[in-house]
Every structure is written in structure tokens, then in C-alpha cells.
Amino acid sequence: MQYEELMKKCIELAKQGEGNTSPNPLVGCVVLDKNENLISTGFHAKYGQNHAERDALLKLKNGEEHGGTLIVNLEPCSHYGKTPPCADLIIERGIKKVVIGMRDVNPIVAGNGIKKLKDAGIEVVENVLNNECLKLNEVFIKNMTKHKTFIALKTAATLDGKIATSNGSSKWITSEEAREEVKVIRKRYDAIMTSSSTVIADNPVMLHRTKIILDRELKTDLKSKIYQSGEIIVFHSQDKVPSQTAKNIKFIPAPVEDNKLNLEFIFSKLYELNIMSVLIESGGVLNGNALKYVDKIYHFIAPKITADNSCLSCFNSRQINDINSSYDFKIDRIDSYPPDILLTYYPMANN
């Protein structure tokens, strides 16, 4: 049997947990009976809750999964964590074949789940839609293999790369359909990061459970909309912080380099704080300074041209004399949100 379509279903199921499973991966699961009829599905809905395999198998009460096949985008776990090992449950329920998209990069698992299944006489098929499964859990993979926070960036610009006029006018560059997609993107990440300049210029709400503000001189007004909801982390370089601040605001001092907060320190600190992924939404200066750290960029482009040199650019942090000094990226996909498009791209290894 060809399992690609069923693995695609696992990936779509897994995406239902976006924004809720961190620091765990996104996992979906499909169960077939011995005649290869689909009898159950499951996904990891929230950190601490049942893993996808357990979710799918526990929906079955009459043993119809016995002798059947389980398809899952990530190797079943083999250890006790928030829940018991999924590999043990698969063995207990009499599954005869397990189809896996990718091996777990968590060193606690890393092939041990597969070994446990094979030792129990279960046939294991690996690497079905492996690339798609790797991309689904790109955040988890970076967390586990590099012990760093995954850094994504979202920007919206005109065809000539402008995000606002010289006096700050920017609403709205993109369409309502594109802005709705931004809400979907935000949900995927543990936190949103912006700069004091953006807070002062736009007074954004940025509804999200965790928001990070880079405010070196503590210039932002704590009555700004962004401070009124969620957990707020403010990185700064001042000796004193405002007194009597709300409980949801945490101030963290950071070193300064070239009159800017040190991003490498900040991103390392985020990982220490168990923030596994962050989406930068800011102006051209922070966007430009972040380019050497980003893992992924979402770039919305509206079919507008300002033809105005004084307008603000979406990436603006340095001056180069050689075009070969540019940062290089690989475009992964192009999506349409009429009349706008979304380019999703990744940095090349030579950056």
C-alpha cells in the first residue's frame, strides 16, 4: 500500500495542534484495521495531553486495531514523560505495522522507539514524506539539535520594499485576507518580538500570550496597547526599571553592541526562558539586524509602488558596496492572498 496520502493526513491532523504543543513536536496519527480501512485518527492537541498515537488508539474500544497499521509523522516515543511511552501502547494494542515519516531527533528517543517496535515483531516502514515531516517540525528540530530558539520574521511591503511612508503611514499595505493569514502565522510561535520604535510609532495591540519588546532606553509608555494583555518581556540596558509595574511585565537587562541591544544574547536568553520559537514583527532596523539569525521569513508583498526614496524599507540595518555581500535566501513557496502574495523563504547556508 502507498502511504503518502495517509501521511499527508497525519501532517494536516498535526497542524491542528499549532501553537499549543511547545516544547513538544506537532504529531498526527492514522490507524487502519487489518483490512487497511481507516478506523481512527488522532493528534497531539496540547503540551501535557495525550500524544497523537495514544489519542488515536484510545478512541478504539473493541480491538479492531489488532493486526492493523498505524501511520504517524514522527517516531513513537519510548520513554515516560508527561504520558507513558506510545511505543508500549502500540505493542499492547496488537498493531502489526507502523509507518513513520521521520525519526525523532530527541536524543531520549532517537531510534529507541523504532527499536522497541521491531523487537516486538512489528514491521516498521520509515521516511514516508520525510521532507514534509521535517518541515512540519522545523522548530522542534532546531530546539533539539542546536538547543536554540527558532527565529522567524514576518514583514509586509510594497513591490519596492517599503513598509511605511516617511511620516509613518502604513495602514494598510496588504489586504484583509493577507492580514488574516498573519493571525494564523502568529499562532504557530511561542512569542512575538518587536521594537520600541514600532510600539511608539504604531501602538500595536499584538494579541499573543507572550510578547517581547526590545526597548534599550525604556522609552515605551507602559499604558501602550501592547502592554495590556499577555506576558510581556522587555529587554533593556538601563540601570533602573519603572516601579510598580504590572505583574505581567518582566524586565531583563541585556548588553549593548553598536548602540543596539545584543540580539545573540537575547535569543540565547529566550531559549533559557523556554521560549522555543519567536516571530519578529517590526520595522526595518530590527528586521535587518535579525537577518543573520533568522531561520525563516514570511514576506507579504502588495502590488503597490511608492516610488519614494524617503519611505521606510522593510530591511535596513547596514551599508554594503558589493552586491555579493547580500544575504542569500531560498524561496520555499509562493502563496496568493489576492491581491497580495506571500513569499516564504529560508536562509542559505553561506549567510
What's the pLDDT tens digit per position in 292-305? 999 999 999 999 99
d(CA 78, CA 55): 16
Give the pLDDT band (50/70/90) at residue 124: very high
Parallel, antiparallel or unpaired: strands 312-313 and 260-261: unpaired
CATH superfamily of 4-144: Cytidine Deaminase, domain 2 (3.40.140.10)
- Give the pLDDT confidence of 80-114 residue by residue, as tens digits: 666 788 999 999 999 999 999 999 998 888 888 99
Residue of 266, 312, 322, 286 whose CA lies nearest to 149: 266
d(CA 312, CA 327): 19
Question: Is the pLDDT reported for residue 349 higher than 90?
Answer: no
CATH number of this structure's domain 148-347: 3.40.430.10
Question: Is the pLDDT reported for residue 171 higher than 80?
Answer: no
CB-side neighbour CA atoms (13 Å) of 2: 3
Q: Quick check: is 181 catalytic?
A: no
Give the pLDDT band (50/70/90) at residue 20: very high
Q: Which residues pair with 249 in a beta bridge?
A: 232
- In sequence order, the 6+-apart residues with CB closer than 8 A to the CB of 315 are 155, 161, 284, 287, 288, 291
* Domain range summary for the chain, segments of one domain joined by +: 4-144, 148-347
- Show the cell assigned to 326: 547580500
Q: What percent of the chain is modeled with pLDDT above 70?
A: 97
CB-side neighbour CA atoms (13 Å) of 25: 29
The reply to whether 4-144 and 148-347 are identical in fold is no
- Contact yes or no for 306/160 (Cβ under 8 A): yes
Give the pLDDT band (50/70/90) at residue 169: low
Give the pLDDT band (50/70/90) at residue 170: low
Residue of 341, 348, 345 whose CA lies nearest to 156: 341
Residue among 4, 12, 36, 53 flagged as catalytic: 53
- Give the pLDDT confidence of 232-253 residue by residue, as tens digits: 999 999 999 988 778 899 999 9
